[in-house]
Amino acid sequence: MNVFASMDVASIQAGLAAKEFSAREVAEASLARVAAADEKVHAFLETTEELALRAAARVDEAIAQGNLMAAGALAGVPVAFKDNMNLEGTHTTCSSRMLENYVSPYTATCVARIIDAGGIPVGKTNMDEFAFGSSTETSAFGCTSNPWDLGRVPGGSSGGSAAAVAAGECTISLGSDTGGSIRQPASFCGVVGVKPTYGTVSRYGVVAFGSSLDQVGPFSRSVRDAALAMNALSGRDALDCTSQNVTCDFTANLDEGVRGMRIGVVREFMEAKGLQPEVKAKVEEAIAKLEEMGAEIVEVELPNAHAAISAYYVLGPCEAFSNLARFDSVRYGYCDPGHKDLGGQYEASRAKGFGAEARRRIMLGSYLLSSGVYEKYYYPAQQVRTLITKDYTEAFEKVSCIIAPAAPRTAFKFGEISEPAEMYLSDMYTISINIAGNGGMSMPVGLGADTGLPVGTQLIAPPFKDENMLRVAAALESVYGCAPVAPAFADGKVGE
């Protein structure tokens, strides 16, 4: 049966070590599975057969020499990368017409580290254009479906990466999270999704959206697999000056349980208007389980978190506006032909190359940074940023982890949310964490009572203490079990 990609890291490696199958067979089976399941899911924009087989050959070589682990901690594990991550020789489109024909001349550090750890790269995944969005509907190359209900979105912007793991097309995938783009799709697709503390993972080679907010992290179906990916990803990279020397073993305390741990609950979050009752019920249940397991639940306050979305939609577009200025049709990207003057070429190329949401963000950022306006919005947004960061610092003096919803609702239908401002609320529980810079993750806690769709609860850690949230997640996993492959894709099924 074609289920290698549905297995976790430990079971793949046990099978490899026992010579039940080879890494090449895993790679071929995963690629075949992507080809079949993706007819329904459309999580992938490109598959990377050659690279996968090359990586598998290295793993099989290590096995032949009797030392599987010499190939790395992720030896033989099928992985996929969001399409804003450079992988030499592949297209890196950011799901934009602007970069439709762009081929990466180099590999991002995060991608290289996963492959160096023995991961088998099976392909690049769909996303909202330039990571602007919460549903993957802004991709220029078609929508990705949620494997739990093909008529619904997988969330976004890393929707392809979340859906690929939920459909058992790969074991681990990488996403990027600027305001919630790992945690919200993880919640919608019922998988684990980790946004590490800013600086834990190098951003080198990841197409920049908001450079002070962007962070790369893994999706997986088990907490241990996410921790293994974190081990491979984290650490100083001379090519990204914001990366830090993180040397933590993220698997070290997964089995410690939560007895005696103080875990914070934010009342404003739990009582917020817009929080779907079925999500609230599931998060409350998870809180009760943690308490039963011996955690002390403590109320904490984040008095400025309500201003996070407003601050983000100033800071994010300002940073995006400057980062996207490089797509000028001369050095990169789509070039509209036939213009006599450069100004005309810029204008037409950017107007046609970028989709509506990207243009909206660029125009907003350009306006917000213009003289006179800057003082009115950008300064106060930075001040709000300081206040939110201070809120978290104070909260983490009382607790070592905070639990909250990951998203206010379960996955919505295609086209159901058309108002940008309403879409922006998808990240009401995640954005403040990017603003403060600490780590957050979404952990599946079962299905909502009303829709029957996956619900994620968010765990939030103090800066550079991401092991705390993984520990709490592992405790929840001992109650809820590992995230299953979505039913229509379980046991090798492909969406029938």
Binding site for ligand GLN (CB under 6 A): 131-134, 157, 177-181, 209, 316, 427
**DSSP H stretches of helix in 198-301:** 223-233, 267-270, 277-292
* Stretch (H or E) spanning 46: strand 44-47
Residue 118 φ then ψ, to 5°: 100, 0
- Least Å distance, CB 201 to ligand GLN, is 14
Residue 157, preceding peptide bond in cis (omega within 30° of 0):
yes
Strand arrangement, sheet containing 262-266: 44-47, 120-125, 78-82, 172-177, 215-220, 192-195, 439-447, 454-461, 401-405, 262-266, 296-300
- Least Å distance, CB 316 to ligand GLN, is 5
- Least Å distance, CB 217 to ligand GLN, is 11
Q: What is the residue whose two structure tokens read 């201070």?
A: 390
In the bound state with ligand GLN, the residue whose beta carbon lies nearer, of 90 and 178, is 178
Of 250, 246, 244, residue with least CA distance to 220: 250
- Least Å distance, CB 206 to ligand GLN, is 11
- Pair 392, 269: CB distance under 8 Å: no
Taking CA atoms, 312 is separated from 166, 417, 445, in Å, by 29, 20, 28
Out of 22, 104, 181, 442, pick the active-site residue.
181
Residue 181 appears among annotated catalytic residues: yes
Q: What is the residue whose two structure tokens read 């790369």?
A: 216
In the bound state with ligand GLN, the residue whose beta carbon lies nearer, of 209 and 429, is 209
In the bound state with ligand GLN, the residue whose beta carbon lies nearer, of 244 and 430, is 430
- Least Å distance, CB 423 to ligand GLN, is 7
In the bound state with ligand GLN, the residue whose beta carbon lies nearer, of 202 and 231, is 202
Give me the sign of the Cα torsion angle 264, 284, 290, 173. Answer: negative
Angle among Cα 477, 479, 482 to the nearest 5 degrees reads 35
Give me the sign of the Cα torsion angle 393, 398, 400, 405. Answer: negative
- Least Å distance, CB 160 to ligand GLN, is 13
Out of 22, 95, 135, 157, pick the active-site residue.
157
Out of 82, 124, 280, 493, pick the active-site residue.
82
Per DSSP, what are the bridge partners of residue 443?
457
In the bound state with ligand GLN, the residue whose beta carbon lies nearer, of 226 and 494, is 226
In the bound state with ligand GLN, the residue whose beta carbon lies nearer, of 94 and 164, is 94
Give me the sign of the Cα torsion angle 268, 270, 276, 277. Answer: negative
- Pair 177, 134: CB distance under 8 Å: no
Of 76, 162, 161, residue with least CA distance to 117: 76
- Least Å distance, CB 410 to ligand GLN, is 16
In the bound state with ligand GLN, the residue whose beta carbon lies nearer, of 185 and 463, is 185
CB atoms < 10 A from the CB of 242, how many?
A: 15
Taking CA atoms, 430 is separated from 39, 195, 371, 459, 486, in Å, by 31, 10, 30, 10, 24
In the bound state with ligand GLN, the residue whose beta carbon lies nearer, of 127 and 254, is 127
Instruction: For residue 419, count CB atoms less than 10 angstroms from its CB and return exposed for 0-12, middle for 13-18, buried for 19 or more.
Output: exposed
Residue 30 appears among annotated catalytic residues: no
- Least Å distance, CB 95 to ligand GLN, is 12
Residue 157 appears among annotated catalytic residues: yes
Taking CA atoms, 447 is separated from 54, 191, 279, in Å, by 39, 12, 9
Q: Which residues are catalytic?
A: 82, 157, 181
